[in-house]
Amino acid sequence: MPRLILLNGPPACGKSTVARRYADEHPLALDLDVDLVRALIGRWRDARPEAGLLARAIALAAARTHLAAGHDVVVPQLVARPRFLTELEDLARATGAVFHEIVLLDGEDNALRRYAERETGAPEDQRHDDAAEVAALHDRLTALLRTRPRAKVVPVVDGDPDATYRAVLAALG
């Protein structure tokens, strides 16, 4: 039975790293990064909200195809509002996949530090939100978690992506 795995968490917590490694170690698994899909949309920065919704719709369609073929899909994406979570759960149910909601989480101070380190070296056009917005996203995600009893929180092992990956595998069972 294929898995639909959401790797949720604040920016710079290792979602993309874990997703890539999972795909590398699980033949035909799809690392479906919604931010990369969004980057394929022309002039997406001029219409961020609409581009984000389009990217998620495209990702859902791609995930549907991949799950229907019997393969795992990993979605590394910060989700701080319930709508996309519901869409992913519905998709898993419709395709007979098992839905796993994994949240990579660390304290806000560590999240902000890692975010600042990542953004310092990024080209201007690839930078994300400012630190205040990252803090607000962390707070929204933490609040959302209180409504998601089946979400499995995996603490980020700072400086050890291998340990974080192993913890994700353990959470998947």
Question: Number of H helices and number of E strands within the chain?
Answer: 7, 5
Q: What is the pLDDT of residues 70-125, one digit of tens each?
A: 999 999 999 988 999 999 999 999 999 999 999 999 876 766 676 777 667 655 55
CA distance 103 to 168: 9
Q: Which residue from 77, 80, 81 is spatially nearest to 58, judged by alpha carbons?
A: 77
The size of the chain, in residues, is 173
Please give the share of the chain, as a percent, with pLDDT higher than 90: 75
Q: What is the pLDDT of residues 14-62, one digit of tens each?
A: 999 999 999 999 999 999 999 999 999 999 999 999 999 999 999 999 9
- Tell me the domain boundaries of the chain: 3-172
Q: Residue 109 burial by CB count (10 A; 0-12/13-18/19+): exposed, middle or buried? A: exposed
Extract the tokens encoding 155: 């603490």
- Strands 98-105, 73-76: parallel, antiparallel or unpaired by DSSP? unpaired
Give, in words, the CATH class of 3-172.
Answer: alpha beta
Which sign, positive or negative, has the C-alpha torsion 137, 143, 148, 151? positive
Q: What is the pLDDT of residues 25-34, one digit of tens each?
A: 999 999 999 9
* Predicted local confidence at residue 11, as pLDDT: 84
CA distance 147 to 159: 29
What confidence category does residue 132 fall into, taking pLDDT thresholds of 50, 70 and 90?
A: confident
Contacts 24+ apart (CB under 8 A), 33-40: 33/75, 33/76, 33/77, 34/59, 34/75, 34/77, 35/77, 37/62
